[in-house]
Amino acid sequence: MRRLKLVLEYDGTDFAGFQLQARGERTVQGVLEAALARIPGARPKVTAAGRTDSGVHALAMPVHYDTEDTVPVERVPQALNALLPPDVRVLEAEEVPPDWHARYSARWRRYLYRVLNRRQPTALDRHRVWWVPQPFDFPAIAAAARTLVGEHDFGAFANREKRATVRRLYQAHVEAVGGELHLHFVGSGFVRGQVRAMVGTLVEVGLGRRPPEDVARLLENPERSEGGATAPPQGLYFVAAGYSPWEAGAA
């Protein structure tokens, strides 16, 4: 028996998220496990570093599974990609120690959120960005985002979360890229819905609907009803997970 780590890229548009669903909806885990089931010796039970919601994309999602197959590890991406639908791709594969865990061994996770800020909507990227036509106050968004860095109770940004809501955010960086606003977040872990709720709140700041200092108030009084609206899923990307301690400037 060996344990393999895969790195996945997927377009979340036509998936009901990563995780298997009770009603049998199409999920990334479901199609990947179906492909693995066609490889003799593979145990088609996949564990991922994170769980993306319906419509959310991934640029490099680590997962692991156990197998007794004899396919050389360097040929695993090609073998699986021949069995997978075109909106999921295995980018790389490697053998890892038997106690390595895609989720529990991760020390940090990185997300990107893309907001298209122009007067007209997009045809080509309608499943890839959140279109907001009104002009932004960029310095206000950047200042509010910096407030999020550190260890806080993120309950004001949690949706239907049953776990504790204290997390550590290592980075909350905002940049203008062409006609888009890119919001980068790196944290030890995220509560359910946290990134999209933080983005929704920061966009409200940028549109002048709440002052930048209001974000600090939300961290001190973490009531979800006080936070901003949840941003739509299509602008969110799982970028990477790291398995050593976070360092500023890490990929």
How many helices (DSSP H) and strands (DSSP E) are in the chain?
5, 10
Catalytic one among 11, 14, 53, 125?
53
111 is in an annotated binding site: yes
Sign of the CA dihedral with 155 first, then 158, 164, and 170 last: negative
Q: How many CB atoms lie within 10 A of CB 120?
A: 8
The string of DSSP letters for 202-247 reads: HHHHHTTSS-TTHHHHHHHS--GGGSPPPPPGGGEEEEEEESS---
- Beta-bridge mates of residue 115: 130, 181
Listed residue (144, 130, 146) closest to 202, CA to CA: 144
Distance CA 146, CA 164 (A): 23
Question: Catalytic annotation on 11?
Answer: no
Element (H, E) at 60: strand 57-67
Beta-bridge partners for 180: 116, 177
Three-state secondary-structure class, residue 158? coil
Catalytic residues: 53
Binding residues: 111
Which residues are documented as binding site for substrate?
Answer: 111
